[in-house]
Structure 1
Amino acid sequence: MNIGIYIYPEAEVLDFSGPFEVFSTASRLCGAEAPFSVYLIAENSEAVPARGGYRVLPDYSIKDHPPLDVLIISGGVHTSEMEKRAVANWIQHQAESVELIATVCTGVFLLANAVQSLSCKVTTHWEDIPELRRMFGQLDVLEGVRWVDEGRIVSSGGISAGIDMSLHLVSRLHSVELAEKTAHQMEFTWTKNI
Structure 2
Amino acid sequence: MPHRIAVVVADHFAPLDLGVPGQVFWAARTSSGEHLYEVVTCSEGRRPVRCSAGYSVLPDHDLNVLDTADTVLVPGVHGGRVMKDGTISATLAGALRGRPRTMSICTGAFILAAAGLLDGRRATTHWTESARFARLFPQVELDPDVLFVDDGDVLTSAGVAAGMDLCLHVIRRDHGSEVANRAARRCVMPPWREGGQAQFIERPLPYGNGGGTAATRDWMLAHLHAPLDLNALAEHARMSVRTFTRRFREETGVSPAKWLTGQRVRHARHLLETTDLGVEEVARRAGFATAVSLRQHLHAAVGVPPLAYRQTFRRV
Is the TM-score greater than 0.5?
A: yes
Conservation of the 8 A alpha-carbon contact between 2:25 and 2:167: yes
Tell me if 1:26 matches 2:19: no
Aligned counterpart, 1:189: 190
Counting matched residue pairs gives 189
Structure 1 or 2: larger helix share? 2
- Deviation, 1:63, is 2.8
Q: Which has the larger radius of gyration?
A: 2
1:27 Cα offset (Å): 4.0
Q: What residue is the counterpart of 2:92 in the other structure? A: 87
1:56 shift after superposition: 1.8
Per the alignment, in what secondary structure is the counterpart of residue 6 of structure 2?
strand
Return closer, same or farther for 1:56/1:90 CA change in 2, 3 Å cut-off. same
Q: CA RMSD in A?
A: 2.0
Q: CA deviation at 1:122?
A: 0.6
Task: Indicate conservation of the 8 Å contact 1:78/1:109, yes or no.
Answer: no
Give 1:59 shift. Answer: 2.1
8 Å CA contact 1:121–1:141 kept in 2: the answer is: yes
- Report what 2:161 is aligned to: 160
Partners of 1:168 and 1:192 within 8 A in 2: no
1:10 paired residue number: 12
What are the ranges of 5 or more consecutive residues in structure 1 without an aligned counterpart? none
Distance 2:17 2:23 in 1: 11
Identify which range, 39-48 or 5-14, moves more after superposition. Answer: 39-48
Alignment of 1:104-119 (within 5 A): 104-115=105-116, 118-119=119-120
What's 1:75 paired with?
A: 76
Alignment of 1:171 onto 2:172: yes
Q: Name the aligned partner's letter for residue 6 of structure 1.
A: V
Letter aligned with residue 116 of structure 2:
V
What is the CA–CA distance in structure 2 between the aligned matches of 1:149 and 1:183, rounded to whole Å? 19
- What TM-score, normalized to structure 2? 0.56
Check the 8 A contact 1:164/1:192 in 2, yes or no.
yes
Q: Note the C-alpha offset of 1:138.
A: 1.7
In 2, Cα distance between equivalents of 1:8 and 1:116: 17
Change (3 A) 1:133 1:79: same
Residues 147 and 165 in structure 1, CA contact (< 8 A), matched pair in contact too? yes
Aligned-pair CA distance for 1:10? 1.1
Partner Cα separation in structure 1 for residue 42 and residue 52 of structure 2: 16
- Note if contact 2:73-2:102 (Cα within 8 Å) is conserved in structure 1: yes
Q: Would you identify which runs of 4 or more consecutive aligned residues in structure 1 move more than 6 Å? A: none
In the superposition, the TM-score normalised over structure 1's length comes to 0.88
Determine if the alignment matches structure 1 residue 56 to structure 2 residue 61. no
CA distance in 2, matches of 1:87, 1:185: 34
Letter in 2 for 1:87: L
The 1:60–1:30 alpha-carbon spacing in structure 2 relative to 1, beyond 3 Å, is farther
SS in 1 for 2:64: coil
The change in CA–CA distance for 1:116 and 1:65 in structure 2 (over 3 A counts) is closer
Once the two structures are overlaid, the 10-residue window that deviates more, 51-60 or 120-129, is 51-60
Q: Give the SS at the match of 1:138.
A: coil
Structure 2 SS opposite 1:115: coil
Q: Which amino acid in 2 is paired with 1:191?
A: W
Between Structure 1 and Structure 2, which shows a larger proportion of strand residues?
A: 1
Shift of 1:30: 5.3
